[in-house]
Structure 1
Amino acid sequence: MDDITCFNILIDTLTKKSNILDELTALTEKQKTCMEETPFHYDLFDSYMDDKEQLIETLNQLDNGFDKVYSHLKSDVLITLPKYEHQIKRLKELIVCITEKSLRLEGFEQSNKRSLEIILRIQKKEVRDIKQNNSMAMKYYKNMSGSESYESCFLDKKK
């Protein structure tokens, strides 16, 4: 494989990675919208998570392929650096773009994580309150159903 082909593969890989980061950002925004809806739709949120997992797996495969091609190309490029100035410039541009998208995505993810923690905390409190209310109601009904058979322990003997 010649150096130009390797550079084209690297550029293509970074372009695909950039597109996948765009898709991940879109899915993260959909998750945010999903969390803002009432009631919270767990199934829809979960489907977005599954989609994101597949995209992340693809990103990892692209990264592995990039590393292999880059390690093959690295020694040749250092020797003939001026010859590939245009390709190196394009790679740098793509890397800057990908880094910006990654940071933006990370910010969205952190925001969504905090929102999800709040939603889960509220849901947990609601479940605990429901359990507590059911328990109190059960105790009340048991007490009320058994109260007819008990007579008062205290008698007022004053007249």
Structure 2
Amino acid sequence: MPDSSTLRPALFLDRDGVLNEDRGYVHRWEDFTWVSGARETVAAFNRAGWLVIVVTNQSGVGRGYYTEDAVHALHARMQDDLKAEGGRIDAFYHAPQHPEAADPAYRHPDPPLRKPNPGMILQALQDWPIDREASMLIGDKPSDLEAALRAGIRGVLFEGGDLKAFLAKEALLP
């Protein structure tokens, strides 16, 4: 573990409903639409030296609606699109498991990675030099906030609109 002088704050972001419009099981670029202010928010936190990490439940994989390759391909397109804004996502974590998954490989009664469980956040805290106390998660559902609480980081509920304007209003932009 790095010493505390090398730790950086992390902005954890839910994907669907925070970074992109939640149209249900978004997995193709053609169906992806950025939330207003999302790209600018990512770039602002990058410039301020924060890590930006996406933590997203993707039960559509376990339900057989799309593959993990589709998730990775969409995330790669998001990265490419963010470059035009001067932004980047440092890491993507996704939870394809679900208690009722069609594919037994993805079926779990209480998936540790799936929010409201904190598994994705806890994994990121192990993988990256993150200052837990200075970090926060922006989510659009109570399960996101529960995962943040259980991981020991601040959770902020985003109920839609312009993400950057919301964070500015809440005095949360760096």
Tell me the TM-score normalized by structure 2. Answer: 0.22
Which structure would you say has the larger Rg?
A: 1
Higher RCO structure (Cα 8 Å, ≥6 apart): 1
Report the structure, 1 or 2, having the larger helix content.
Answer: 1
Report the structure, 1 or 2, having the larger strand content.
Answer: 2
